[in-house]
Amino acid sequence: MYKVLLVPALGMAADAPVFETAHLAARMFGAHVAFLHVRIDVREMIVAMASSDMGGGGISGIVDQMEKDSLAQEQAAHKGFEGFRDRTKLPVATVPNGAGVSVEWRTELGDMSVWLAAHGRSADLLVVGRARDDEPVAMDVLEAGLMDTGRPLLIVPAKTPETLTGTVTIAWKDTPEAARAVAAALPFIDKAERVVILSVQEDETTTEESCERLLRALHWHNKNTTRQYLRATNDQPLVQTLIDAATNAGTSLLVMGGYSHSRLREVVFGGFTRHIMTGTDLPVLMAH
């Protein structure tokens, strides 16, 4: 069961569905939600720019603007948090108070990826946005959350979901990453109205055997668990077949592993995973 959720507060319009989805999850588990904002360390930027070919006057003007932008973003993030508190009437707490769902505001100075990883390692679940105002996928936030915390991510689409436990769909592959994702999703699986295991068959015998083992195991958590085998057609790739099947199943939450086949970290969000992030509006719970 999740008792501590961590939510990055970026000071952007894309924060709103993330905050609301975190609240939705927190109500399910009576959890504490810590909101983290990281302000840019302009001093580090000064050092970087001083080593470049820019003149002092140019640097001074840029630094002043960066200070203003950083302060404005922090204020926007905190305003979003305060607005969320006003709507939800949730108490602020830094230690358990027996009041059920509570919230906390945290600030750090430096790099969001570094601090998200540091705070994320002591959380049970990270709730992060898929998009930011200027890009469809917040790569640095997703990457740090998935690769550097050892914790699962609940990745939120642009629209707040009505529920996370209507139909929980598992994109199953016989790998440690998929197994860790299923283990991380058990609190949602236990509460789901139904669970659907989707398996894209690459090696028929191995896939079916592992899928049947998972089905038997999950029946101990949720008796309304079924499985469906998928095959790609010549008309579309495997990942689109998976997305279509998940959509047709009425999925409330898609569970999948985060995969890497390269030493380059960004490859985790390449190919199959990136297609999931940009090709569907479903909430995704991911573990690596």
Per residue in 56-110, pLDDT tens? 556 667 777 888 888 999 999 999 999 999 999 999 998 887 778 999 999 999 9
Q: Is the pLDDT of residue 264 over 50?
A: no
- Domains of the chain, CATH where assigned: 4-156 (3.40.50.620), 167-287 (3.40.50.620)
How far apart, in whole angstroms, are the C-alpha atoms of residue 127 and residue 35?
A: 10
Q: Is the pLDDT of residue 136 over 70?
A: no
Helix residue spans in 121-175 (DSSP H):
139-148
Check residue 53 and give its pLDDT: 54
Query: Residue 148's closest CA among 123, 176, 184?
Result: 123
How far apart, in whole angstroms, are the C-alpha atoms of residue 279 and residue 275?
A: 5
* Cα angle 118, 120, 125; round to 5: 175
> Is 254 strand, coil or helix?
strand
Query: Residue 169's closest CA among 198, 191, 193?
Result: 198
Query: Residue 167's closest CA among 146, 198, 142?
Result: 198
Per residue in 193-247, pLDDT tens? 999 999 987 655 556 889 999 999 999 999 999 999 988 677 777 788 888 899 9
* Cα angle 20, 26, 29; round to 5: 150
Query: Residue 280's closest CA among 171, 135, 196, 158?
Result: 158
Query: CA-CA distances (angstroms) from residue 188 to 21, 151, 218?
Result: 13, 15, 12
